[in-house]
Structure 1
Amino acid sequence: MASSSRNSIIAGAGCGLVASIATCPLDVIKTKLQAQRAIHRQDGYLGIAATVKSILKHDGIRGMYRGLGPTILGYLPTWAIYFAVYDGIKNHFGAKSIEDAPAQRIYPAPQTKGYQPVAREHPWTLHILSAMTAGATSTLCTNPLWVIKTRFMTQSRSEVRYKHTLDAAITIFRTEGGRAFFRGLLPSLLGILHVAVQFPLYERLKLMARQRVGSQDLPSSHILLCSSIAKMTASVATYPHEVVRTRLQTMRISREVFENGGTSRPSTGIIRTTKDIIHNEGWRGLYRGLSVNLTRTVPNSAITMLTYELLMKYLNKRTDTY
């Protein structure tokens, strides 16, 4: 394995670990809000404050970290796979025609070493291709862990609680079958549009910041600002897919229902689920938990990208010394 790919995997896993622990409480609140099917201002609906009070009252501070195990197990491979594929595609296609590339045609690389030339008329298509391919790869590999995480965070107190991640996986498989682990996969793949917005914008903002400060090595404050703006923009633009995904992932359908078929089987389609949300809760139902999500994802992304950049800088320096 090339040292750059190895460094990307290590840095990606490290930033995922730090970010998942730091923002888990906000993830729990957001997921519970997304999973609610009660209509605003009606009995059964809990706002942000009521959700927090309910968690603390019944589960204590530990309840704010429910699902942390599968979250960590999900984030570690997700970011490791994501950054390895993202950097790999950019390095492969970006370096393919270096000799033929005009000197002025460059794109900002994620590594702290600066820029790499690339022979392309529209260099930002490379960022979009890298982001979408990396997002699809990591999503396909880790979707079962995100289903388990969502189930952990949204279990009602009347249900038999999962003991741990393995117990949750066995229980879900025994009662609902293997297909339950890929419920919500389609809206997750549609969420690739999120990274297609976030990462090219992040790279563009970094380029502008480098031009402004006149240095290739950006201070931490600039990295935090660039990642925060990029994440906020992408989150607002693509948020509805998260609500639809959560609704599908929390849907309990026994394996007997699928095996026997029948007209009583609930719909698990993305279009039907979206229509049901709009019909029963209005358009604002597609943005349930958005404020909490922004409060969670913006610092999460800032922590993730800053940790990644610092780890890559450190690992590249160590690689260069050998």
Structure 2
Amino acid sequence: MDFWPEFLASTSGREFVAGGLGGTAGIISGYPLDTLRIKLQNTKNVSAFNILRQMVSREGATSLYRGMAAPLATVTFQNAVVFQSYATLSRAFDSSVSAKDPPSYKGVALGGVGAGALQTLMVSPVELVKIRLQLQSMGRITESAKGPVMVAKSIWKKEGFRGLYRGLCVTVIRDAPAHGVYFWTYEYMREQFHPGCRKSGKESLHTMLVAGGLAGVASWIFCYPFDVVKTRLQGQTPSSIKYKGIYDCFRKSVKEDGYSVLWRGLGTAVTRAFVVNGAIFSAYEITLRLLFNNGNMQTQETI
């Protein structure tokens, strides 16, 4: 009965809840653009507008949200773990900073790398199922029509534990350094837009939205080629194995389509990144402040 009040009274609990709500806001705001990105990475000479037009005309606007149940079901916990891990690790890597001061930019970057690496254990199987669902209209994946739970069961039955974690290595390569760039960019840009806000914790919604959006854009540009490789590896099924690994996928993709294939869909990805991560950081910061203010009020009333 007393778990939630005690949990929300702790700093870790508030960061966990704020991170979860931020992740939910990000998924809902950016999922249609994510669907377009996945399809662009697996097609040739087709624009995002043409894919959008074809999907809406043939399957309706709801097709843009196909597969959202898989990430939405886990994103609250996943994003909560990322933000809580980041908050803990950024201070652990910068022990010289006092509790009242924000971590240094070095601590921010290293904390982001650590948080990014940890969250891949959760995100890799979820993104595998999501990608299989998003690619169903291309006619290569028959089990995707059954929904996320059935797809996951089908993968487990046919490929086992190893199948569910297909693409884990490239996901770590993509996410660990990208999260370092992500959190560093956000902290740096918010300070540039609103000097002193890292210590005071006070900045405008505009600052949160723009700094968060730029952080998302920077991290995606940094890791995008690995995301293309990851999508192609995870889009494979046992009956359609084309790539034997990360290097083989990279080599064959470049040989067939040129180096430009590694940046296919980047425009859609960065547009989505700006919208999604602006929403994530804004929801995170606002929720965190509401929880801390509420906690302070409750403490004062108790006293």
TM tier, shorter chain?
A: 0.7 to 0.9
Match of 1:23 among 27, 30, 36: 30
Matched residue, 1:289: 265
Matched residue, 1:51: 51
Instruction: Return 227-236 or 80-89, whichever deviates more.
Output: 227-236
Matched residue, 1:227: 212
Aligned partners of 2:90 and 2:112 also within 8 Å:
no
Matched residue, 1:147: 128
Matched residue, 1:105: none
Structure 2 residue 109 is the aligned partner of structure 1 residue 128 = yes
Structure 2 residue 169 is the aligned partner of structure 1 residue 186 = yes
**Which letter does structure 2 place at the counterpart of 1:175?**
K
Structure 2 residue ranges without an equivalent (≥5): 1-6
How far is the alpha carbon of 1:60 from its aligned partner? 0.9
Task: Name the CA distance, whole Å, in 2 between partners of 1:28 and 1:226.
Answer: 24
Aligned partners of 1:74 and 1:146 also within 8 Å:
no
Task: Name the CA distance, whole Å, in 1 between partners of 2:137 and 2:90.
Answer: 44
**Which letter does structure 2 place at the counterpart of 1:211?**
P
SS of structure 1 residue aligned to 2:34: helix
RMSD value, Cα: 2.3
Aligned partners of 1:24 and 1:68 also within 8 Å:
yes
How far is the alpha carbon of 1:246 from its aligned partner? 0.3
Larger radius of gyration: 1
**Which letter does structure 1 place at the counterpart of 2:181?**
V
Task: Name the CA distance, whole Å, in 2 between partners of 1:283 and 1:9.
Answer: 40
Matched residue, 1:90: 90
Matched residue, 1:65: 65
How far is the alpha carbon of 1:212 from its aligned partner? 7.4
| Change in CA separation of 1:318 and 1:229 when aligned onto 2, cut-off 3 Å | same
TM-score normalised per structure 2: 0.87
Matched residue, 1:196: 180
SS of structure 1 residue aligned to 2:145: coil
Match of 1:137 among 118, 125, 129: 118
Match of 2:230 among 234, 245, 257: 245
Matches within 5 A, 1:263-282: 266-282=242-258
Aligned partners of 2:132 and 2:144 also within 8 Å:
no
Instruction: Return 277-286 or 207-216, whichever deviates more.
Output: 207-216
Alignment identity in percent? Answer: 25
Match of 1:308 among 268, 278, 284: 284
**Which letter does structure 1 place at the counterpart of 2:287?**
L
- Per-residue CA shift, 1:22-61, capped at 9, x if unaligned? 111111111111122x4x3xxxxx3212211221132111
Structure 1 residue ranges without an equivalent (≥5): 41-45, 102-108, 110-114, 258-264
Aligned partners of 1:77 and 1:138 also within 8 Å:
no
| Change in CA separation of 1:9 and 1:278 when aligned onto 2, cut-off 3 Å | same
**Which letter does structure 1 place at the counterpart of 2:145?**
Y
SS of structure 2 residue aligned to 1:251: coil
How far is the alpha carbon of 1:161 from its aligned partner? 3.9
For this pair of structures, how many residues does the alignment match?
287
